[in-house]
Amino acid sequence: MNGHDSQPPELQKLLACAREAALHAYAPYSGFRVGAALKLTNGEIVSGANVENVSYGLTICAERSALVRGVSQFGPDIRVEALAIANLNEAASPPCGACRQVLAEFILPQAPVLFPAASGLRTMPFSALFPLAFEMKLK
Ligand code: THU
């Protein structure tokens, strides 16, 4: 599905939360303000914004910011059933590879992920976005 209005109301609400979170971004170095909102299986919505640092590599993306907030607030058993991402720059912003790997431990494979793409708003299940997560299974 493409476009904000064609989304189910639940996902439209999540997207609005992501946009609102982006207003809180700390992005003085890139100027790229991102917000992410997670819908948890316990019914809660948790959002986060990117927080940059002058030592650039210490920057935290909006998606991980929301996730660590969710775990901190509700504990390690949280599960994400939907994720929305927004930015204030009218640019494409699918979740970066590092965020996908981190999300993989907490998000349901079928969870819809909404993000701004070059073609407009895109939605796809997390498993399509990140099919081969690293797992540690020792023999
Ligand atoms: N950023 C995110 O918040 N999420 C992503 O998935 C990709 C990038 C942030 C990090 C940095 O503050 C800015 O966008 C530019 O890379």
Supply the pTM of this predicted model. Answer: 0.95
For the domain made up of 9-129, the CATH class stated in words is alpha beta
Chain-centre distance for alpha carbon 85:
5
What percentage of the chain carries pLDDT values higher than 70?
Answer: 97
- Rounded to whole angstroms, the maximal C-alpha distance in the chain is 48
| Average pLDDT of the residues of the chain | 96
Average pLDDT over residues 15-44: 98
Ligand 1 midpoint to CA 65 (Å) = 11
Mutation test residue for ligand 1: of 26, 34, 68, the one with most atoms within 8 Å of CB: 34
Residues with catalytic roles: 63
What's the CA gap between 39 and 28, in Å, rounded?
28
Residue 129 and residue 113 in contact, taking contact as beta carbons nearer than 8 Å? yes
Sign of torsion over alpha carbons 70, 73, 75, 79: negative
Predicted pLDDT at 139: 87
For residue 128, give every residue at least 6 positions away whose Cβ sits within 8 Å of its Cβ, in sequence order, or none: none
- Within 10 angstroms of residue 127's Cβ, the number of other Cβ atoms is 16
Instruction: Pick the residue whose CA is nearest to atom 13 on ligand 1.
Output: 32
Q: Could you state, in order of their start, the residue ranges of all structural domains in the chain?
A: 9-129
Ligand 1 midpoint to CA 139 (Å) = 36
Instruction: Pick the residue whose CA is nearest to atom 6 on ligand 1.
Output: 95
pLDDT 10s digits, 96-119 = 999 999 999 999 999 999 999 999
